[in-house]
Amino acid sequence: MLRTLTASLLVGAAIIPATASAKVDLGSAISLRVVDRNEATVQFASDQLPLKADGKTVDARIVMAPGKKPGKLHKVGMHGDDTRYESLVRSKKALRVGTRYTVRLEIAGQKPIERQVKLIDARR
């Protein structure tokens, strides 16, 4: 009895780290949309991103060129089975519609995902 209980606990403990570091795949292209002259939103859909130890904050971040400061990623909804995430990006200089910007998504325990994303004006 004790042997089977110990074996089942060891198997359960071995599964937890494997799922915690599972590779996250994007479920959609990364989009960059104008909010106003110096602000844009980065949006994408993916498998659920890992959470930090507090259980609330996403353990991933958006990185862009100097002068552009992305905010924290937060969940904004679902796209089929994938979770949609969004981050507000602020820039010191005016953002130009039609220009391609490099967006890097850094997820804990995984290689960064880097894409060239064209800024679109969805307000029209």
3-state secondary structure of 90: strand
Q: Which domains does the chain have, with CATH numbers?
A: 24-120 (2.60.40)
For the stretch 30-71, pLDDT in tens is 999 999 999 999 999 999 999 999 999 999 999 999 999 999
Q: pTM of the full predicted structure?
A: 0.80
Q: To the nearest 5 percent, what fractions of the chain are helix, strand and coil?
A: 15, 45, 40
pLDDT tens profile 66-124: 999 999 999 999 999 999 999 999 999 999 999 999 999 999 999 999 999 999 998 76
> Which pLDDT score, from 0 to 100, does residue 12 have?
47
